[in-house]
């Protein structure tokens, strides 16, 4: 679950990371009222998930309340577009923050190194810019530290990184504590990524998190039900929402560019099926993994989800039973097709593995003959999609 | 020989009386696995229908049976607890079927259970065909032989193994390492074990887009396994960038984890990459010639 | 720092350990008001540090408001005495709690095993009685588990202990979580000991901490300033308060039974000096360890603290300098004796080790000749105390 | 020979520019200790008056100097952090002078720094007379020789050593293990090291009331050191029950840690217990006869 900047900063404040003064709102009138009460220079930051909002015109500066209101009206409802997000994303809310006098900008993040199986901390004195660019051009300007999760964070780690990355001296006093707080957030809230870019050193000597990027592990969200709820308030991925609605995991369903609906058990087989369709000259309309041990009901719902996509003009259900039982899958298919409001598309089924024989008997009884192999199924599905 | 388990491995089932645990216990017993008991807190002192004793704690089970292996059928929130319990009781190999254990739980478990091999989570388990199955794989598709197989995915493993078996390539051990972000055993760990197993004469590595395990595996093969033929497969090569597909690993972002990067890594290591699972037996045969019966 | 029952239960509630309903008060009128509002059966528990308050008459039962008020008036101000506490302790406050219907009583504690360098959890199905008695008579009825501090607590530990200790089945569901909360308290608040005796299983199936014994590590108290403050509200040890008042640690000063004041640097030497006085036929009036690296000012204050005890009729200052410098000690002695309101008692000084020569010069200059050895100093001090 | 340190041990000082750190650095240098540098964050790149370099981090110091030993002069709240930093940088022996590190900090440090020996906290350090002093002991009272000495207390150690030296008994190594509740190195750890040191021909163990380290030491001596004479001392034998005196260890409660229990344990192990520090040389001489020159 990716958090928006204002949500990330909410968590920052909970663990004691300093953030700029400001207010979050969905209403331009609020901006006027707030700036009237708090004269000065302010930044209006569009709250969107997409990257590159600055270049897309999502960040504005206001020096008085009237200007603030005008800019807020301009931003709210605007659709920001970027190279990565050609469809764009609508601005539904704003974070209004004090414009700080920047003396220096640093970069700091903690993420999980899957290969090392450890949290890795990254610090650079080049903040405020695209870190991937820094990593590519001057990898030595990013200093890394792999934390032993059984020891955890201790302030020397922050000291060591601050010296190694040659952060300006103004950072050094506050940095170990801020990094410690960031590590606490990372661990306590089960984050995949926490990033502050830039971590600003102000001219008056404060160290402040000017931006906040937080991505939480969906599998750990149950420990934080109040944060899991934020999800519904944010513009979540539609595919994720659809998957969760029928009882799947967030990443078990994704729409793709083609016309052939795909249902498989297991992400590996799902991807393999997608690849096989491509090899056979077609293109998958989606990726749907029913996971392990799916019951008939889930299979039925998955069928209906995939066919709810109007582009789908053929379907390939590819099951190699392990924990998933062939009889349950077959029963689900039969039930789905028996439904009143079902959209029937040409269907290819491949069923093998655990309880496959019973499954085949069920399909047989419903007058349905499955194919033998994945390659065969992919070829047949492509032919059907092409109206042959 | 085989890696990680053989016919003498004594296995307990954590969650033996649950729906999945009970189902797969019977399948593993039917395959010939030495299931010596299981654990369900509060059901200690009872037995399951086939006679194996149930214990309240893993320690009780290990003390009574001498088990060294455990397979876990527990809900995700209890995964870390169950792994620690296994470790504390002296289990040396734990197969974690459970999908979706929080990554931070696994980080802490992995950091604190040195000496215990964890397979998974979110994995189909391990099978040494003809000897023992500690997992949820459909045993009948496997065949005893000399090909070592490693895969991130469950069902894709079955797909590939099915093809190998039909083509006459039996397997020494197949390890499904699992698709969760933090797993206990990586490709390289398995390769290291296979490298030292004289009865494993060829290897199949079935990877996926995302992460860097495949690149690490290619580098290890190049450096340490010059003498055994290896064939690779990369699932998800047709996936669009930036989409998250099922396994947390299967997301492409930036320049790491792309199919191109993985194919190149294997190619550089002299390992052919099959376009389709069904091509694997042919590639293996070419590398092994003369073709086994 | 030892906490009183009501303070311990405050911490219990913070971490989620269930405690009986009730109210804490210093006023009998409150008891009447509370019992009027909440009719039923209640227990009035005297809040004192001493053990054995039940046998000493500090616990009473009330079935109505009038009885409650009468008993509260009886208890408040009463001095409870026990074998261990012959001087007694005055009851200054009460904890009024619901009288629960007890189905079973268990014992659970976590403490530090110094030899193993690990937290050790102890559980017994014999709660509500003196655990040391259980340990002596039936050691096998107490089940122990040593926690690896790098892994920490996980629920299986509670399950294993509950089964091993054969706790009644009613405990099992709640026990792992309660023990987990107790471990959290133990770690997060830096406790030397947390103990629930008894942990009650009620007839209606609840598991409740009926008593609370918590002792925090003084060295970790700085992490919890609000709790450190409780100390001043509790009847703290007078000796500890006196030590802290002059800047020493709580356990650096303790009054003993004799007449010879003792000041030494280091606890080991302090004890050795005490022993040497006993060997020479005398008895120390106190134990005072000025610690390592004491400055002259602390030496002066220590002199005045020891002589503030009217029983002291001679003093032995025994310094073997390591981190403590002889010149600083000598200066402190000279300054103390030069003070206006100083109570002068016959004084023996032994000074050796770091900067001892300079110290001896300072003492020489003030007309004071130190002794050479500890034995010699002890003998001289005993002679002086006996008026010789 | 000696234990834990010799004249080749390279030592850094954590907190080298602080008041105590600077003072004792000079004393250690004067004694001949190889102080190769020190650490004070923010003062990296400077040198102290005697020329030793100051670094910002322990890692920098170890990388530049090859130090294996460290001595810590840091405030209690920074004790755990400093020990972890030393461990992480590859230090193999850390002497922790700091008194009053929270017990829970030390529990976690001890559980997570396997491979690094920690002496203390709240200890006077270690000295191998004539070779190296890593501590705050007054070096001039020590003398090179063959008696190994272990003590919980600092100043009591000086008292005893002073007596030994005056009586002609030099010391191989003296270890002040420290008085805090959780310490890194126990009597038994030291005894194990001394047992394997051929140049240590006799031992003095100076314990205290409270805890069970002395009882453990007595049991170890009886089981594993039959051939070296040992003399013991127990401080605080005149203390009243239930009083907490200085060291957290020095409290008597229940039946553990009483002077009687400790004296009995040593007596059972054939170890004489001196009534006064000044009696130790005589007891040692009796056990060692003929008396060394």
Superfamily classification of domain C102-222: ATP-grasp fold, B domain (3.30.470.20)
DSSP-assigned beta bridge partners for residue D47: D53
pLDDT value of residue D291: 47
Query: Is A251 within 8 Å of B246 when comparing Cβ atoms?
Result: yes
This model of the complex carries an ipTM of 0.89
Counting the structural domains of chain B, the total is: 1
Span A84-117, pLDDT tens digits: 777 788 999 999 999 999 999 999 999 999 888 9
pLDDT value of residue C238: 76
Contact C182, C108 (CB under 8 A): yes
Query: pLDDT tier at B256 (50, 70, 90 boundaries)?
Result: low
pLDDT value of residue C235: 45
pLDDT of D212 over the 90 cut:
no
The shortest CB-CB distance from D154 to any of C220, C268, C276 is to C268
Question: How far does D156 lie from chain A, in Å, by closest CA?
Answer: 34
Span C311-335, pLDDT tens digits: 999 999 999 987 788 999 999 999 9
Owning domain of residue D100: 10-288
- What does pLDDT average to over chain A? 91
Beta carbons within 8 Å of C112's beta carbon, 6+ residues apart: C118, C119, C120, C192, C193, D103, D107, D181, D182
Query: Is D155 within 8 Å of C268 when comparing Cβ atoms?
Result: yes
The shortest CB-CB distance from D276 to any of C112, C150, C375 is to C375
Nearest residue in chain B measured CA to CA from A219: B102
Q: State the Cα–Cα distance between residues D239 and C256, nearest whole angstrom.
A: 8
Question: How far does A353 lie from chain B, in Å, by closest CA?
Answer: 6
Whether A369 has its CB under 8 Å from any CB of chain C: the answer is: no
- DSSP designation for A94: E
Task: From chain D, pick out residues whose CB is under 8 angstroms from the CB of C112.
Answer: 103, 107, 181-182
The shortest CB-CB distance from A156 to any of D42, D84, D112 is to D84
CA angle A119, A120, A122 (to 5 degrees): 150
Lowest pLDDT segment from A216-220, B193-197, D117-121? A216-220
Question: Could you give the residue numbers annotated as active site of D?
Answer: 247
Whether B213 has its CB under 8 Å from any CB of chain A: the answer is: yes
Superfamily classification of domain A238-385: Succinyl-CoA synthetase domains (3.40.50.261)
When pLDDT is averaged across residues B134-147 and rounded to a whole number, the result is 94
The shortest CB-CB distance from A154 to any of D42, D56, D81 is to D81
Span D222-240, pLDDT tens digits: 999 988 999 999 998 888 7
Q: State the Cα–Cα distance between residues A387 and A366, nearest whole angstrom.
A: 24
Query: pLDDT tier at D253 (50, 70, 90 boundaries)?
Result: low
Beta carbons within 8 Å of A206's beta carbon, 6+ residues apart: A18, A100
In a domain, residue D96? The reply is yes
Span B170-180, pLDDT tens digits: 999 999 999 88
Whether B90 has its CB under 8 Å from any CB of chain C: the answer is: no
Q: State the Cα–Cα distance between residues C106 and C117, nearest whole angstrom.
A: 26
Query: Is D84 within 8 Å of A154 when comparing Cβ atoms?
Result: yes
In a domain, residue D196? The reply is yes
Q: How much of chain D, in percent, has pLDDT values that exceed 70?
A: 93
Task: Please report all neighbours of D, defined by 3+ CB atom pairs within 8 A.
Answer: A, C
Catalytic residue, candidates C69, C145, C195, C303? C195
In a domain, residue D23? The reply is yes
- Which of A143, A154, A176 is the best residue to mutate to test the D interface, defined by the most D CB atoms within 10 Å of its own CB? A154
Q: At what angle do helices B79-88 and B103-112 cross, to 10 degrees?
A: 10
The shortest CB-CB distance from A154 to any of D41, D56, D80 is to D80
Whether A63 has its CB under 8 Å from any CB of chain B: the answer is: no
Structure tokens at B237: 């090569």
Could you confirm whether C222 is annotated as catalytic?
Answer: no
- DSSP designation for D246: S
Exposure string of C349-368, with b = 16+ CB inside 10 Å and e = fewer, is bbbbbbbbebbbebbeeeeb
Task: From chain B, pick out residues whose CB is under 8 angstroms from the CB of C148.
Answer: 112
Question: How far does A220 lie from chain B, in Å, by closest CA?
Answer: 5
Query: pLDDT tier at B251 (50, 70, 90 boundaries)?
Result: low
Span C182-211, pLDDT tens digits: 999 999 999 999 999 999 999 999 999 999
When pLDDT is averaged across residues D91-112 and rounded to a whole number, the result is 95
In a domain, residue B4? The reply is no
C21-98 adopts what CATH topology? Dna Ligase; domain 1 (3.30.1490)
pLDDT value of residue C1: 84
Beta carbons within 8 Å of D215's beta carbon, 6+ residues apart: D261, D262, D265
In a domain, residue D1? The reply is no
Lowest pLDDT segment from B129-143, C30-44, C123-137, D226-240? C123-137
Give the start-to-end residue ranges of the domains of chain C: 21-98, 102-222, 238-385
Q: Is C227 helix (H, G, I), strand (E, B) or coil?
A: helix
Whether A115 has its CB under 8 Å from any CB of chain B: the answer is: yes
pLDDT of D109 over the 90 cut:
yes
The shortest CB-CB distance from C160 to any of B59, B78, B80 is to B59
Nearest residue in chain C measured CA to CA from A151: C150
In a domain, residue B5? The reply is no
Task: From chain B, pick out residues whose CB is under 8 angstroms from the CB of C183.
Answer: none
pLDDT of D193 over the 90 cut:
yes
Task: Please report all neighbours of A, defined by 3+ CB atom pairs within 8 A.
Answer: B, C, D
Query: pLDDT tier at A143 (50, 70, 90 boundaries)?
Result: very high
Supply the CATH number for residue B35's domain.
Answer: 3.40.50.261
pLDDT of A30 over the 70 cut:
yes
- What does pLDDT average to over chain C? 91
In a domain, residue D4? The reply is no
- DSSP designation for A125: S
Nearest residue in chain A measured CA to CA from B251: A251
pTM above 0.80, yes or no: yes
Query: pLDDT tier at A236 (50, 70, 90 boundaries)?
Result: low
Q: Is C182 helix (H, G, I), strand (E, B) or coil?
A: helix
Task: From chain C, pick out residues whose CB is under 8 angstroms from the CB of A150.
Answer: 150-151
Query: pLDDT tier at B291 (50, 70, 90 boundaries)?
Result: very low
């Amino acid at each position: 679950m990716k958090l928006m900047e204002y949500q990330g900063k909410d968590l920052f404040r909970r663990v004691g990371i300093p953030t700029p003064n400001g207010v979050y709102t969905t209403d331009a009138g609020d901006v006027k009222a707030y700036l009237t009460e708090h004269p000065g220079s302010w930044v209006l930051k569009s709250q969107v998930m997409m990257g590159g909002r600055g270049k897309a015109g999502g960040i504005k500066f206001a020096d008085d309340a009237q200007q603030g209101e005008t800019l807020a009206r301009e931003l709210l409802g605007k659709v920001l577009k970027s190279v990565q997000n050609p469809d764009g994303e609508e601005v539904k809310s704003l974070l209004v923050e004090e414009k700080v006098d920047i003396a220096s900008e640093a970069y700091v993040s903690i993420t999980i190194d899957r290969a090392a199986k450890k949290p890795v901390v990254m610090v650079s004195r080049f903040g405020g810019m695209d870190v991937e660019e820094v990593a590519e051009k001057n990898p030595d300007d990013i200093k890394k530290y792999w934390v032993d999760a059984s020891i955890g964070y201790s302030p020397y780690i922050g000291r060591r990184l601050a010296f190694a990355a040659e952060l300006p001296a103004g950072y050094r006093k506050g940095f170990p504590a801020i990094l410690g707080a960031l590590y606490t957030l990372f661990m306590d809230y089960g984050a995949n990524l926490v990033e502050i870019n830039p971590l600003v050193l102000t001219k008056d000597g404060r160290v402040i998190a000017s931006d906040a990027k937080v991505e939480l592990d969906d599998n750990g969200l149950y420990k934080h039900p109040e944060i899991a709820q934020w999800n519904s308030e944010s513009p979540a991925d539609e595919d994720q929402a659809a998957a969760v609605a029928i009882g799947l995991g967030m990443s078990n369903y994704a729409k793709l560019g083609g016309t052939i609906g795909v249902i498989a058990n297991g992400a590996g087989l799902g991807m393999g099926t997608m690849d096989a369709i491509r090899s056979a000259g077609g293109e998958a309309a989606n990726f749907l993994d029913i996971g392990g041990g799916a019951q008939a009901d889930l299979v039925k719902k998955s069928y209906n989800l995939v066919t709810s996509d109007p582009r789908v003009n053929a379907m390939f259900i590819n099951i190699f039973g392990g924990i998933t039982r062939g009889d349950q899958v077959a029963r689900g298919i039969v039930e789905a097709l028996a439904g009143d409001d079902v959209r029937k598309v040409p269907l290819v089924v491949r069923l093998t593995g655990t309880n496959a024989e019973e499954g085949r008997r069920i399909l047989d009884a419903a007058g349905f003959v499955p194919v033998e192999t994945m390659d065969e199924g992919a070829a047949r599905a492509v032919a059907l999609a092409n109206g042959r | 020989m085989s890696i990680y388990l053989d016919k003498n491995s004594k296995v307990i089932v954590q969650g033996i009386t649950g729906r999945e645990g009970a189902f797969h216990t019977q399948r593993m017993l039917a395959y010939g696995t030495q299931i010596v008991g299981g654990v369900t807190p509060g059901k200690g002192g009872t037995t399951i229908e086939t006679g194996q004793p149930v214990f309240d704690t893993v320690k009780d089970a290990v003390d009574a049976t001498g088990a060294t292996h455990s397979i876990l059928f527990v809900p995700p929130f209890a995964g870390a607890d169950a792994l620690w319990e296994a470790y504390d009781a002296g289990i040396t190999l734990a197969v974690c079927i459970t999908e979706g254990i929080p990554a931070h739980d696994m980080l802490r478990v992995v950091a604190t259970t040195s000496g215990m091999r964890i397979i998974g989570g979110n994995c189909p388990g391990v099978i040494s065909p003809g000897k023992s199955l500690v997992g949820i794989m459909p045993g009948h598709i496997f065949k005893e032989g000399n090909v070592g197989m490693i895969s991130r995915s469950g069902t894709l493993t079955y797909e590939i193994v099915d093809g190998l078996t039909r083509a006459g390539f039996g397997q020494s051990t197949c390890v499904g390492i699992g698709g969760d972000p933090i797993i206990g055993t990586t490709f390289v760990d398995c390769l290291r074990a296979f490298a030292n197993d004289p009865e494993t004469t060829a290897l199949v590595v079935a990877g996926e887009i995302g992460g860097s395990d495949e690149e690490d595996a290619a580098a290890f093969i190049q450096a340490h396994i010059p003498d055994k033929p290896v064939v690779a497969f990369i699932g998800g090569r047709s996936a669009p960038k930036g989409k998250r597909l099922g396994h947390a690993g299967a997301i492409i972002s930036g320049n790491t984890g792309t199919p191109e990067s993985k194919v190149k890594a294997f190619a550089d290591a002299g390992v052919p990459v099959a376009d389709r699972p069904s091509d694997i037996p042919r590639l293996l045969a070419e590398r092994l010639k003369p073709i086994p019966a």
